[in-house]
Amino acid sequence: MGWAISVHGGAGDIPLSLPPEKRLPREAGLRRCLDVGIAALKAHNHPLDVVELVVRELENNPHFNAGKGSVLTTSGTVEMEACIMDGKTMKCGAVSGVSTVVNAISLARLVMDKTPHIYLAFDGAEAFAREQGLETVEMSHFITPENIERLKQAQEADRVQLDYTQPIQKEVPKDAALADGDSQIGTVGCVAVDNEGNLATATSTGGIVNKMVGRIGDTPIIGAGTYANHLCAVSATGRGEAIIRGTIARDVAAVMEFKGLSLKEAAAYVIDQVPRGNAGLVAVSSTGEVAMPFNTTGMFRACATEDGYSEIAIWDSPTK
Amino acid sequence: MGGWAIAVHGGAGVDPILPNERQEEATRLLTRCLDIGISALRSNLSAIDVVELVVRELETDPLFNSGRGSALTEKGTVEMEASIMDGPKRRCGAVSGLTTVKNPISLARLVMDKTPHSYLGFAGAEEFARKQGVELVDNEYFITEDNVGMLKLAKEANSILFDYRIPTLTTCGGGAAMENQLQMNGLPISLYAPETVGCVVVDKQGHCAAATSTGGLMNKMTGRIGDSPLIGSGTYACDLVAVSCTGEGEAIIRSTLAREVAAVMEYKGLNLHEAVDYVIKTRLDEGKAGLIAVSKNGEVACGFNTTGMFRGCATEDGFLEVGVW
């Protein structure tokens, strides 16, 4: 037993040659968010509050594809989505099409806590945010020059870009192409369990570069990108379509329950079922285990457990 | 075993004092839709085409809560959503927040077939619809007098019972004031309008498909998304089975109901009937919902923990049943 926490900043074709100026700020971001989460758990905050706090940090960090730093739609706008779930009560909240709310994950939390609904989107979500007095800003707040450039490149290449961490280049390598191009690299997420076995998960994203206006990915879909019950809490990242049809987050818990697998085995099993290069996830169990499997080149991730173990990684590590 | 099978539904949770006339109308519509599906199956249409065809019929008819006849938002407008899933390869398409698209299920199909995405919502979905040249109408087209009246009553009920901004304590059974009245989602059943529609089919090739469409919850907040467009919650199809759910959206989402049926078949080895039974009995807790399902072996099953579910099912070997209770 004991608490455990895991954080991700997106899975994808993160090239091993990722230059330091792109790698270091992200590693630093993960480290900082992990520390924020650890401190909160040590202070006996409920995992639901912990995951919201950590994801808010990730949203505010412009190096990740959520909140500030979100990738752009084909119209050059930002449409963010987020989702939060409490494993014990199975209460959940989700939002999509958010363009002015500084922290979409907090809006999702309010949908969960303050409405009889689970999921609000677009104008309705924005109106609710204002009603609740959440911090809102001009959409330009979220847009970074890097993402403007990425969109430009994607539109020139006339494809939906896979990996937002790829150095912006004129020629996108052929093997990075996907026939239907729907990928959701760069989502952020956090899962946590306290030493009483309370579980929670939170995921947030800007979506995929050059996405159609109105496109919704896996992140706000309970059971796809986000899920928690009494067994485990899961946050997934990767190609949205693959995650949706694979009901990835839900399946980890289902496999634990119905096949009696451990968290690590269940998480690995579920990721194995997804075509290579498409998904990754972070998960914690009620007994304090952690799993961070991925079948992409890399996944920005970090984890820590009460017994003192901690890890920050991008590519394969000896202990996965 | 084997052969085609089809099931349709027009919502779980029926007012026990529903007038006979209305029951008859519902039965006629379900029978008509079943017949359309059966003809299509006999003509060798694939499962995915059949479910779309049948749900279009249900959307066009103003009786149930989808397309024309949709429940109204708190503003008195209609916002529709739908999803469709093709078992082989588990391809899927979904839409939400539609206000002018005559047949939401067909737009969901286009999202699946013509975009690199799985789900489009609101203005973006409407724009896509325009570009695809699907039939568009004014929002007024979907609004029926019946529902305008229901909305008014729902607002009155809410203002007496509770403020929607306060989280509901239970998903049914309500507060002290509503002790003896049948409720779903905090509203008296007569006002709740849970009549989401859906269709599941397995064709002669053993391919399964599912489709679900709805106007959503009466008096919902604008922008509210329920279970119907969410893959794994309201709709799911894979190699083994196809499922479409209806009832309290929030309960269906929390329990990822549609996926649950498939998961217990896949991971616990239950057959279709056992799976449907198990899921309805153990996965809904306080929530009220129902579902229809078909398996690749040509079996069909319905399950619900509500008072009634508008449904119809048929199999190739001649079984046919339409029911309300």
Contact A244 B115 (CB under 8 A): no
Task: Tell me which residue has tokens 């996907």.
Answer: A178
Nearest Cα residue in chain A from B73? A124
First to last CA, chain B: 27
B248 is in an annotated binding site: yes
User: To 10 degrees, the CA torsion angle through A68, A70, A73, A76?
Assistant: 40
Q: Kindly report whether the global pTM for this prediction surpasses the value 0.90.
A: yes
Phi, psi of B160 (to 5 degrees): -80, -45
Q: At what angle do helices B104-114 and B122-132 cross, to 10 degrees?
A: 80
Within-domain flag for A161: yes
Which is nearest to B223 in space by CA: B69, B94, B95, B96? B96
Dist CA A123 CA B82 (whole Å): 19
Q: Is the pLDDT of residue A157 over 90?
A: no
Residue whose token pair is 């890097």: A146
Which residue did the predictor score with more confidence, A81 or A318? A81
* Look-up of token digits 């490149």: A153
Known catalytic residue: B196? yes
Q: What is the pLDDT of residue A167?
A: 53
Q: Which residue(s) pair with A93 in the sheet?
A: A84
Which regions of chain B are under pLDDT 50?
A: 160-180
Tens of pLDDT, residue by residue over A240-257, are: 999 999 999 999 999 999
Nearest CA in chain A to B85: A245
Residue A123 token pair = 């104008």
pLDDT(A166) > 90? no
Mutate to test the interface with A, among B119, B165, B227, B238 (most CBs of A within 10 A): B119
- Residue A320 is assigned to a structural domain of this protein: no
Q: Residue B238: name the closest of B212, B209, B268 by CA.
A: B209
Closest to B287 (Cα-Cα) out of B232, B245, B229, B259: B245
Give Cβ neighbours of residue A310 (< 8 Å, ≥ 6 apart). A34, A38, A302, A303, A304
Confidence at A180, pLDDT banded by 50, 70, 90: very low
Q: Is residue A186 part of a domain?
A: yes
Residues of A tagged active-site: 187
Question: B287 a known binding residue?
Answer: no
Please name the member of B230, B267, B268 whose beta carbon is closest to the beta carbon of A221.
Answer: B230
Write down the ipTM of this complex. 0.90
Maximum distance among all Cα pairs of chain A, rounded to whole angstroms: 52
For chain A, the average pLDDT equals 91
Residue A178: is its pLDDT beyond 60? no
B250 annotated to bind ligand: no
| Structural domains of chain B, ranges and CATH numbers in brackets | 5-142+190-323 (3.60.20.30)
- Which string of DSSP letters, residue by residue, matches B95-120? EEEESSBS-HHHHHHHHHHHSS-SEE
Determine the Cα–Cα distance for residues A277 and A295; give it in Å rounded to an integer.
5
The answer to which of A20-24, A25-29, A265-269 has the lowest mean pLDDT is A20-24
Predicted local confidence at residue A171, as pLDDT: 39
CA distance A160 to chain B (A): 9
Identify whether A318 is part of a domain: no
CB neighbour list of residue B60: distance below 8 Å, 6 or more residues apart: B67, B68, B102, B103
A144 part of a folded domain: yes
Residues in chain B within 8 Å Cβ distance of A116? 164, 167-168, 185-186, 250
Closest to B320 in 3D by CA, of B33, B111, B19, B77: B33
A75 located within any domain: yes
For the record, the structure tokens of B143 come out as 């609004």
Pair of tokens at residue A118: 């689970």
What 3-state DSSP class applies to A175? helix
Report the alpha-carbon distance of residue A21 to residue A167 in Å, rounded: 11
DSSP A142: G
Residues of B in contact with A91 (CB under 8 A): 254
Give the helix/strand (H/E) hosting A298: strand A298-305
Instruction: Give the A:B interface size as CB pairs under 8 Å.
Output: 161
Per-residue pLDDT at A274: 96
Partners of B127 on chain A (C-beta within 8 Å) are 213-214
Going by their DSSP bridges, the two strands A92-98 and A80-86 should be labelled as antiparallel
Which one from B73, B196, B212, B315 is the annotated catalytic residue?
B196
pLDDT of A216 reads 97
Q: How many domains does chain A have?
A: 1
Q: Is residue A24 part of a domain?
A: yes
* CATH for A32: 3.60.20.30
Structure-block tokens of residue B235: 């709709």
**Cross-chain Cβ contact B254/A254 below 8 Å:** no
Residue type, position A21, single letter: E
Taking CB atoms and an 8 Å limit, are A116 and B117 in contact across chains?
A: no
Does the CB of A215 have a partner CB in chain B at under 8 Å?
yes
The domain in which residue A292 lies consists of 4-313
- Would A308 be classed as within a structural domain? yes
Which stretches does DSSP call E strand in chain B? Answer: 5-12, 80-86, 91-98, 119-121, 183-184, 187-188, 197-202, 208-214, 224-225, 235-237, 241-247, 289-295, 300-304, 309-315, 320-323
Q: What is the pLDDT of residue A159?
A: 59
Does residue B246 have a known ligand-binding role?
Answer: yes
